[in-house]
Amino acid sequence: MALEHFNQASERAAKSQPVERSNIETAHTKAAESVLRSERHQLKGDDRLQTLLKTPQQESRKAQSKELNIKSGLEANRLITERGRHNVPHVGFIARQLQRSEFRRTRALKPDRQNARYKEHKPVGETREHELQEQIAIRAANQKLLNQTEQNATIKQRQQNDPFAASLAEEKEALPGLAKERQEGAATESPVVASDKSGFNPEGLLRTAGSGVIDIQAGINVQTEPQQTLSPAEGVKLEEIVGPEATLTFREKLREVWGILEEGSTGDLDVIARMPVNLMGASAVELLVVESPQGVYFVAFLRNKNDFDLLEPFDRHALLPPNPSRYLIEAAIIAYEQLDAIVRGGCEKIGEGVSQLAASRSSDDPALVFLRQRWLFAKRRRRRFERIIDYLVGELDEYDLREESNKAGLAGAEKLESLKDGLGEEEQEDSARVVKLADHLGGQGRLKKVL
């Protein structure tokens, strides 16, 4: 009611004083632009400029998404603690939770009819402001396009330097007929590479192994058949988020872990979950759960959220990446719990097999000896998982302790800051000495940062 009244009044005012209104509008726009300009001059660096270019709506969306992500993370934590160590939800559950929250977020952000109607009756000044915001958004889009072109130029440069990346691009651009020729060429070349040490010729062996002629074309057909991917509502392409260069880097890293990852298009990696990770001393790190066309999940750590130029390398033999977050440690615990559950079942079944075989065979039967060895190996593996879980639980406790001490350090730093405001020059020098001492004693980098 009040809104309608306000709208009517503003319309009436607009009709009665059109000249004044336009003057006010231009003055308002000019003032807004001058403020923007001055702020731009003040700010240094691309990152801050990007922040400035973001509209308040974008900011609020970002804040909302952060809040939702944190909420879903907390919900997962709560479930973990409620169900206990031996019955915890797996990573897929967390990913789904995040996906669901993402869906809710996007649905909540869609402009509804009521808002659209409200937009129609907006006061003139507000509409101008909206136009200004749109202009800023267009400028931001242009900037993004420029960055994209720069990135493409960097990729080209990189491909010139790196022959491996160049071959990747070649495969991407190649026509089907040419690809076939290249594959055939590779099939004839590769045995030379493979036979560096032993003279092994896999193709030749395969032919002698009773297969007859191997259909290379069939292999190509398998590679080019449409892969099963998530619908756009469920997944986002990694390339859309991080850009082509970072995707290329990510694929290289993936190949380190999983050598069989298909080379070719970089646009086939779907991001199914995103989570802001608050690592100590690096708050802009983001965790992405990426799904390959083969249905394999990978976790990526984006160190720099603004330009996405660096991806944290991860080693499959390492339990955790350096400076893991609480989420990561918990995810690792869950993963090993799951594996432990399966290994326990497997051990039981193999144990049964050993006892059955032992009943019917002599003790020196080679099959029995080997099976017993495998069984013992599985049991040892189970114990190893238990030890790993204990270690990770310990890491989690340590992380909590570190967080607590950090919080205490920050509180102390804030107190010091408030004290510092009321001090003279000499006293400020003294406080600087105190900070140095604190830094030396506690290694509290944040304390230094705050002061």
Partner 1 sequence: MLEVKDKYDEVFQIEMEGWAYGIANYPGEIFPELVFRVVRELEGSFIAAIEHHYVFNIVEVATMFSKAAKYLVHEKDITFCILSLLPPPAKFDEDGQFVMAQIIDQVEKTYGGALERLEKKWRWDLKYEREKKEAA
DSSP secondary structure letter of residue 85: T
Of residues 112 and 196, the one with the C-beta less far from partner 1:
196
Interactions with partner 1, residue window 83-122 (CB under 8 A): 87, 89-93
Cα–Cα distance between 395 and 78 in angstroms, integer? 18
Q: Taking CB under 8 A as the rule, does residue 213 contact partner 1?
A: no
Of residues 280 and 341, the one with the C-beta less far from partner 1:
341
Q: Candidates 1, 222, 318, 359: give the one binding partner 1 (CB under 8 A).
A: 222
- Displacement of CA 413 from its chain's centroid (Å): 32
316 burial (CB, 10 Å; 0-12 / 13-18 / 19+) is: exposed
The two structure tokens encoding residue 417: 């800051």
Q: Residue 17's CB: how many other CB atoms inside 10 A? A: 12
Q: Candidates 30, 62, 78, 374: give the one binding partner 1 (CB under 8 A).
A: 374
Q: Taking CB under 8 A as the rule, does residue 40 contact partner 1?
A: no
Kindly list the distances between the CA atom of residue 327 and the CA atoms of 17, 88, 288, 307, in Å, as whole numbers in the listed order: 59, 14, 12, 24
Q: Taking CB under 8 A as the rule, does residue 438 contact partner 1?
A: no
CB of 100: closest distance to partner 1 in angstroms? 15
Place of tokens 């330097």: 161
The two structure tokens encoding residue 343: 């290994």
Cα–Cα distance between 406 and 444 in angstroms, integer? 8
The two structure tokens encoding residue 140: 């931001």
Nearest Cα neighbor of 236 from 413, 105, 332, 374 is: 105
Interactions with partner 1, residue window 352-371 (CB under 8 A): 353, 357, 365-367, 369-371
CB of 290: closest distance to partner 1 in angstroms? 11
Q: Residue 95's CB: how many other CB atoms inside 10 A? A: 19
Site string for partner 1, 225-264 (x = CB under 8 A): ------------------------------xx-xxx-xx-
Q: Candidates 57, 223, 405, 428: give the one binding partner 1 (CB under 8 A).
A: 223
Place of tokens 């801050």: 48
- Cβ atoms of 306 and 284 closer than 8 Å: yes
Q: Is 357 strand, coil or helix?
A: helix
CB of 324: closest distance to partner 1 in angstroms? 19
Q: Taking CB under 8 A as the rule, does residue 214 contact partner 1?
A: yes
Q: Taking CB under 8 A as the rule, does residue 350 contact partner 1?
A: yes
CB of 342: closest distance to partner 1 in angstroms? 4
Q: Candidates 172, 349, 433, 436: give the one binding partner 1 (CB under 8 A).
A: 349
The two structure tokens encoding residue 361: 């065979």
- Cβ atoms of 389 and 340 closer than 8 Å: yes
Q: Taking CB under 8 A as the rule, does residue 211 contact partner 1?
A: yes
Cα–Cα distance between 9 and 45 in angstroms, integer? 44
Of residues 53 and 358, the one with the C-beta less far from partner 1:
358
How many residues line the site for partner 1 (CB under 8 A)? 69
Q: Taking CB under 8 A as the rule, does residue 181 contact partner 1?
A: no
Which positions lie near partner 1, rule CB under 8 A? Answer: 87, 89-93, 183, 186-187, 190, 193-194, 196-198, 200, 202-203, 205-206, 208-211, 214-216, 218-223, 255-256, 258-260, 262-263, 294-297, 335, 338-339, 341-350, 353, 357, 365-367, 369-371, 374, 377-378, 381
